[in-house]
Amino acid sequence: MNSRAPEESALPASPGDIAATRSVRGEALAVVTDPTGRIQFANPELLRRSGLDWAAVSGKPWFDVFAERARRSALRRAFEQVVTGAQPGPCSAVLRDGNGNEHHIVWVATRSVDATGATVSVTSVGVEVSGAGETSRPAAPGTDRLTGLAGREAFIRRLKNEIEAAHQGGFATALVLVRIDKYTELVITLGDGTGETILRELAGRLTATVANGVVARISGHEFAVLLPRVDTSADAVRMAEELVRVMRAPCGSLPVPVHLTASAGLAVYPHDAASASELMGRAGSALTRAATAGGNRQAAVEAAAGDAPGSRMMMEQQLHGAIARGELTVHYQPLVDATTHNVIGVEALARWNHPMFGDIAPGRFIPVAEQTGLIRTLGLHVLRTALEDAKAWRDAGLAPVTVAVNVSARQLAHPSFVDDVALLLAETSTPSGVLELEVTEGAVMADVEVATVALRHLTERGVGISLDDFGTGYSCIARLDRLSLTAIKIDRTFLRPGTAASEPVAMVRALVALARSLDLRVVAEGVETMDQLRSLEAEGLDLYQGFLFSRPVPAAVIQRLLAEGLPALV
C-alpha cells in the first residue's frame, strides 16, 4: 500500500464497556477497505468467525457484510467520519456466524492517508466482547425485566437477610446506591429507547465490577449494590469510588458517544445504621449530597462531628497545612523495560500520612485538592520533590531514569504551568528527557486549546508527555496526534483478571496497534501477576508498571533498587 502511516482513528470501546461485558473473547478481527468501505482485505479470523470465504466478501461494503442490518447506517456514518478525519463515535455491531450465532464486536477504525492528506484506506480492528446486548429472556420473579437485575423488593429482602447475618456474625455490610446523573435530560435529548440502552449497559458494568455482592435496579435510574462482609469502611469507600468510575465511560451501545456520569451514596452497617430501612435512608441522603455537589462523585455517610477522614471538610482543612507540616511525601513506582525488565523510569505518586488518620489514599485527597484549587501547590510540591530526588540519584552515580509526575486538569490550564516546570527543571539541573508528565484525557479535554499549547511548549523543552489511564476517557482518539504525546499508558482495568489473565488480550492488542500508528510508546499499567505478564508478552509493549515488579516505594528504596536492580521474578 503506497500510503503513509495511519493517521486518525475511532475511539474503541472503553473499559467500562469491557466491564459491562465481562470479557474479551478470541483473536482480533481485521478488515481493510478503500475509502468507500469496499473490502480489500479481511483477516482469516474474521472470515472464520463470519463463516464466509474471501470470494464472498471481496469488494463488498464491509458494514453490509459484517454487521447486522439495524447497525449498518450508524456504522456507515461513523466510517465516513473516519474517512474525512472528523470525530467519529465508538462502534459496536453484531456479527452473525455461519451457524446463526451472534457475536458482539467492538470496532476501532484507523485511516491511512497519502501525501496530500487524502484517505487511501481504512483499517478496522474488531474484538469480540461477551454479554453485551444479549436478547432478554423472560424475567424470573423479583427480577427487573429490563436489566435482568434484582428488583427493589427482592433486593430489600436480601439486604435484610444480609444484615441479620452480619449481626449474627459480627461483621460489617455496606450498601451503595448509584444514580445516573442528568438521566432525564439525556433521555429527553437523545430520544426514546436511549434510556433502556443506557440502563442495560450500566447494569452490566455494575455487575461486572461487583465480584462478591448483589446489584439491583431499585427504581428508574437508580441502582443498589450490597457488599456483604466488608473488612473496613475504607474498602467500601474504594468500592463506591470504583462504581462511580466504571459508570463514567462512554456508552458504547449507542450510535453516538454519550458521556455519562453517576453519583453514589454509601452507608455501612452497623456503623451508620441499625436496620435495612435505616441503611437505605442513610445511603440515600449520602447519594443526594453527592448528586447536589455536582455529581460524578461518591459520598459516604458523614462521620460524627467531622472527625473522620471521610469528612470532606475536615480533609480540606487538614490538606491546607499538610504540605507545610511535611505530611505529604512522594513515593515512586518503577517502570520496567518490557524486554530486559530493567528499571528505566519511575512514577511519582503523592502520599499523605496524617498523624491521626494514618495513610490517606491519593484517590481520596487528590479530588479534594482539585476541587479546592490546592492541587497547584500540591502538584508543584510533588514535581519539585521528584526532580530533587532524581537529582540525588544522579549525583549518587546511578543510571539515569525518567521521572513521571501526574498533572491534573487545573494545573495544566494554569497560565504559569509551563514556566513553573521550566524553572524547576533549571533549579534541579535536570537534563532534558528525564521528566515526563502524565496527563489524562479528561485533564486535556477540560480545556483542549490551552492544554494543547501547554503540552507543545513542554515537549519543545524536551519534556515527555504520557497519556494516563488510556482507554478510560471519553475523548476522541482522532485528536491524540495533535497533543504532542510521547507515550500512552494502558489503564489497568484492561488487565483485570478475567480479561487479561485468562483470555487473549485482544483489546490491549487493538490499543497497541492504535498507539503504534501514532508512533507512541506503550506502557501497560497494573501488571500484578505472572499470568498477566505472560499474556502481555506477545503484545509488543514497551514498558510495564505494576505490583508484580514493585509497589510504589519511598525514594531511599528506589535508590537501592537502582543500585541493585529488581529482584528476579519467580
Give the footprint of ligand C2E on this chain (CB under 6 A).
Answer: 333, 349-350, 361-363, 366, 379, 382, 406-408, 438, 468-469, 492, 526-528, 545-547, 552
The residue among 198 and 350 lying less far from ligand C2E, judged by its C-beta, is 350
Binding mask 497-526 for Ca ion (x = CB under 5 A): ----------------------------x-
How many whole angstroms separate alpha carbon 344 and alpha carbon 546?
A: 14
| 115 CB neighbour count, 10 Å cutoff | 8
List the one residue from 123, 253, 406, 493 that touches Ca ion (CB under 5 A): 406
The residue among 178 and 451 lying less far from Ca ion, judged by its C-beta, is 451
Smallest distance, Å, CB 384 to Ca ion?
A: 18
H-assigned helices in 299-440: 312-322, 362-372, 375-395, 409-413, 417-427
The residue among 144 and 491 lying less far from Ca ion, judged by its C-beta, is 491
Smallest distance, Å, CB 547 to ligand C2E?
A: 4
Smallest distance, Å, CB 149 to Ca ion?
A: 30
Considering only 167-175, 298-306, 355-363, 432-440, which stretch makes contact with Ca ion by CB under 5 A? 432-440
333 binds, among Ca ion, ligand C2E, none (CB under 5 to 8 A by kind): ligand C2E
Considering only 169-177, 401-409, 429-437, 551-559, which stretch makes contact with Ca ion by CB under 5 A? 401-409
Smallest distance, Å, CB 313 to ligand C2E?
A: 21
Cα three-residue angle 471-459-118, rounded to 5 degrees: 65
Pick out residues in 457-496 that bind Ca ion (CB under 5 A): 468-469
122 binds, among ligand C2E, Ca ion, none (CB under 5 to 8 A by kind): none
Check: CB of residue 34 under 8 Å from CB of residue 141.
no
The residue among 92 and 472 lying less far from Ca ion, judged by its C-beta, is 472
How many whole angstroms separate alpha carbon 172 and alpha carbon 271?
A: 8
Smallest distance, Å, CB 355 to ligand C2E?
A: 20
Check: CB of residue 553 under 8 Å from CB of residue 331.
yes
**What sign for the dihedral angle of Cα 98, 102, 103, 104?**
positive
Ramachandran bin of 253, using left for φ above 0, alpha for ψ from -120 to 50, beta for the remaining angles: alpha
547 binds, among Ca ion, ligand C2E, none (CB under 5 to 8 A by kind): ligand C2E
Smallest distance, Å, CB 245 to ligand C2E?
A: 11
Look at residues 385, 380, 378, 345 and name the one whose alpha carbon lies nearest to residue 362: 378
Check: CB of residue 33 under 8 Å from CB of residue 75.
no
Residue type, 107: W
Check: CB of residue 555 under 8 Å from CB of residue 332.
yes
**With binding defined as CB under 5 A, does residue 50 bind Ca ion?**
no
361 binds, among Ca ion, ligand C2E, none (CB under 5 to 8 A by kind): ligand C2E
| CA 14 to chain centroid | 7
552 binds, among Ca ion, ligand C2E, none (CB under 5 to 8 A by kind): ligand C2E
The residue among 386 and 562 lying less far from ligand C2E, judged by its C-beta, is 386
Smallest distance, Å, CB 84 to Ca ion?
A: 32
**With binding defined as CB under 5 A, does residue 436 bind Ca ion?**
no
| DSSP secondary structure letter of residue 493 | G
The residue among 61 and 546 lying less far from ligand C2E, judged by its C-beta, is 546
Adjacent-strand bridge partners of 440: 468
Residue 340 makes CB contacts below 8 A (sequence gap 6+) with none
| DSSP secondary structure letter of residue 255 | S
The residue among 127 and 330 lying less far from ligand C2E, judged by its C-beta, is 330
Smallest distance, Å, CB 489 to ligand C2E?
A: 7
Pick out residues in 221-240 that bind Ca ion (CB under 5 A): none
The set of cell numbers assigned to 501 is 489473565
Look at residues 426, 388, 518, 513 and name the one whose alpha carbon lies nearest to residue 465: 518
Smallest distance, Å, CB 440 to ligand C2E?
A: 7
**With binding defined as CB under 5 A, does residue 438 bind Ca ion?**
yes
Smallest distance, Å, CB 314 to Ca ion?
A: 26
**Which residue reads 491524540 in cell numbers?**
480
- The torsion angles phi and psi of 328, rounded to 5 degrees, stand at -95, 120
Residue 206 makes CB contacts below 8 A (sequence gap 6+) with 178, 215, 223, 225, 243, 246, 247
Residues near Ca ion (CB under 5 A): 406, 438, 468-469, 525
